[in-house]
Amino acid sequence: MPCPWYRTPSGSIIVTPDKIINEVLPTYIYSRVSSHNKQGDLITQIELCETFCISKGWEITKIFKEIASGMNDSRKQLLKLFSMPPGRLVVSYKDRLTRFGFNYLETLLTKMGWEIVVIHRDKEEKDDLMQDLVAIITSFCCRLYGLRRGHKKAKEIKEQIPDETCS
């Protein structure tokens, strides 16, 4: 087991902390809303995260903001964030980062050297479950209606193409 202290020949005890207390980490803010009509909330999230970081004495390296579903697994700004050097990731609520699998994501990122800071972790579980259920239903409805619209559009296009037979 590593020893966090040692004794000098003169008898003095020197303590070496495992982690530097004021470690300078790049600090990233990520904020997300699900639709364009919620852009005001996007600004509110950023301001909240900026105020939080300033109160902690953290210098903000970059701010990532996105309008996309929390269930979308190919969000451009989030993927761009993960291509940055590991650092401190600040979000207002955990569902701003992802709707599902937050614990998996947090565990993986922590093992990769990231620190995840969620400002409001004390959100009620019941509300969280209801929002997750609504998000699932909304996502599946959008995909289902999108598929129907796609099939309808394809059928319309096929009807416009003249049926030519080779003689």
If asked whether residues 54 and 106 sit together in one domain, one would say: yes
Residue 154 maps to a domain: yes
Q: In CATH, what number is assigned to the domain containing residue 46?
A: 3.40.50.1390
If asked whether residues 55 and 98 sit together in one domain, one would say: yes
If asked whether residues 36 and 56 sit together in one domain, one would say: yes
Residue 167 maps to a domain: no
If asked whether residues 100 and 137 sit together in one domain, one would say: no
Active-site residue (options: 10, 12, 31, 34): 34
- Whether residue 96 contacts residue 45, with contact meaning beta carbons closer than 8 Å, is answered with yes
Residue 11 maps to a domain: no
If asked whether residues 112 and 149 sit together in one domain, one would say: no
Averages of pLDDT over runs of 10 residues in the chain (167 residues) are 64 65 81 90 96 95 92 89 96 88 91 94 63 69 67 66 55
Q: Structural domain of residue 138, as residue ranges?
A: 124-158
* pLDDT value at residue 12: 79
- Specify the pTM: 0.65
If asked whether residues 140 and 98 sit together in one domain, one would say: no
* pLDDT value at residue 21: 45
**Cα within 13 Å of Cα(153), Cβ side:** 6
Residue 22 maps to a domain: no
If asked whether residues 46 and 112 sit together in one domain, one would say: yes
Tokens of 103: 């614990």
* pLDDT value at residue 159: 73
Q: Is 34 a catalytic residue?
A: yes
If asked whether residues 35 and 98 sit together in one domain, one would say: yes
Q: How many domains does the chain have?
A: 2
If asked whether residues 88 and 109 sit together in one domain, one would say: yes
Residue 60 maps to a domain: yes
